DNA sequence: TTAAAGTATAGTAAATTAGTCGGGATTCGG
DNA sequence: CCGAATCCCGACTAATTTACTATACTTTAA
């Protein structure tokens, strides 16, 4: 019942972009360094995110990636779903593989999976990247003067 | 982000026991047949459930398994957690492997994982086996006279 | 005594995950 | 125009996890 690294790394990388929005295009190696994620793996993830319009790319020297919309328009649900597919505890409650669960209406466990799915979606579809950025800045300001530029960097791989 | 078969099969098997509570000990091969789950795999799951006290076993001929408590005392959260460990989208928000996420308080993604975890737990810790049984009987009664004894059997593997 | 059950542990095949690798195609700065 | 910095693409692979299977018990009712 864990998210895969796709979703977890992807969210961190998008959050990284949001924190650096004003800096122009951010090259992947910067994100990879800051977040301690393999650059070539990130390339895969960003290819997916780009197809979905969640990021824009700028090719060539001094290129990099930009958010595809303002941080307050990007919900983390979009990010996670793009990278992981529908978030659900069982296949029979994913839109994708509507997986012929015959008699679905009469299936009590299905009702449980639906409730779990819906409660997850309610969380991830109510938080934007902007929310995350604001929360991070609040945390940093509370830490006071000894906060460095990279205080917001997420070090662990979760 | 799917539950494994351990949790999914386990819940169905426990629900099966709850539906048949009055029948005395239920042997695993009955559950395996009804639920279309490998019997030897179920054995493994029931070994875990037994250690946790969620079921009691009766050995020997005419033996089988009984619920370890009344259906209204068994929350599906207990079942899922016993078989899957803490339900959480990332390791850093599991009680089990408190996995040294240094600076955890300052980690914004962690806050998201916590919210997801909590919303899932709220669902699974508010539903009992009795709730499931009641809901199933309600569904069956609505279907009217043409309902057979095994109308509640879950056929799909989700 | 025998057959129907549970108990325990090890092994294994399949699937998924989490990457790596190699070679392009673009673009900027000099 | 050249070369370095970048994104782009697809195939490949290693590691892990999952989902069982197999084997060899022990216990108990009839």
Q: What is the distance between the alpha carbons of residues A113 and A158, in angstroms, rounded to a whole number? A: 24
Closest C-alpha among A22, A123, A29 to residue A67: A22
Pick the more confident residue, B106 or A149: B106
Closest CA to A112 of B4, B124, B37, B9: B124
> Strand C: which nucleotides have any atom within 7 A of a protein Cβ?
3-10, 17-22, 25-29
Span CA (B59) to C1' (C4), Å: 9
Q: Which residue did the predictor score with more confidence, A37 or B144? A: A37
Distance B32 CA to D29 C1' (A): 23
B 13-52 → A contacts, CB under 8 A: 15
Tell me the chain B residues in contact with residue A102 when contact means C-beta distances shorter than 8 Å. 155-156
pLDDT band at B142 (very low <50, low <70, confident <90, very high): confident
Mean pLDDT of B99-117: 84
Instruction: Evaluate if residue A143 carries a pLDDT over 80.
Output: no
CA atoms in the 13 A half-sphere facing the CB of A68: 17
Interchain pair A93, B143: CB under 8 A: no
Q: Report how far residue A151's alpha carbon sits from residue A139's, in angstroms, rounded to the nearest whole number.
A: 10
- B6-49 pLDDT tens trace: 999 999 999 999 999 999 999 999 999 999 999 999 999 999 99
How large is the average pLDDT for residues B106-131?
96
Check if A112 contacts B (Cβ < 8 Å).
Answer: yes
Distance from residue A136 (CA) to nucleotide D23 (C1'), in Å?
Answer: 56
Residue with the bigger pLDDT between A129 and A140: it is A129
B120 touches chain A (CB under 8 A): yes
Look at B84 and A108 and tell me if their CB atoms are within 8 Å.
no
Output the pLDDT for position B81.
Answer: 98
A 10 A CB-CB count for B66 gives: 17
CB atoms under 10 Å from CB of A141, counted, come to 9
- Name the more confident of A157 and A74: A74
Check residue A86 and give left, alpha or beta (phi > 0: left; psi -120 to 50: alpha).
beta
Residues with CB under 7 A from strand C: A 4-6, 9, 38, 40-41, 43-44, 59-63, 157; B 25-29, 40, 43-44, 46-47, 50, 57-65
Question: In B, residues 122-141, which contact A (CB 8 Å cutoff)?
Answer: 122-124, 127, 132, 135-136, 139-140
**Better pLDDT: B155 or A93:** A93
Q: Does A87 touch chain B (CB under 8 A)?
A: yes
A24-45 tens-digit pLDDT: 999 999 999 999 999 999 999 9
pLDDT value of position A148: 64
Matching residue, tokens 């850093």: B92
């Amino acid at each position: 019942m864990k998210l895969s690294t796709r979703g977890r790394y992807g969210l961190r990388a998008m959050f990284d972009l949001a924190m650096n929005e004003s800096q122009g295009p951010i090259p992947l190696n910067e994100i990879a360094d800051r977040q301690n994620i393999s650059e070539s793996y990130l390339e895969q993830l960003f290819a997916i995110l780009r197809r979905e319009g969640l990021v824009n790319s700028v090719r060539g020297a001094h290129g990099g990636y930009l958010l595809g919309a303002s941080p307050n328009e990007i919900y983390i649900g979009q990010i996670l779903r793009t990278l992981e597919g529908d978030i659900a505890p069982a296949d029979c409650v994913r839109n994708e593989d509507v997986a012929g669960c015959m008699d679905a209406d009469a299936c009590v466990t299905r009702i449980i999976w639906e409730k779990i799915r819906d409660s997850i979606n309610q969380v991830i579809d109510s938080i934007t990247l902007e929310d995350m950025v604001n929360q991070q800045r609040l945390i940093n300001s509370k830490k006071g003067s000894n906060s460095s530029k990279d205080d917001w960097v997420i070090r662990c791989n979760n």
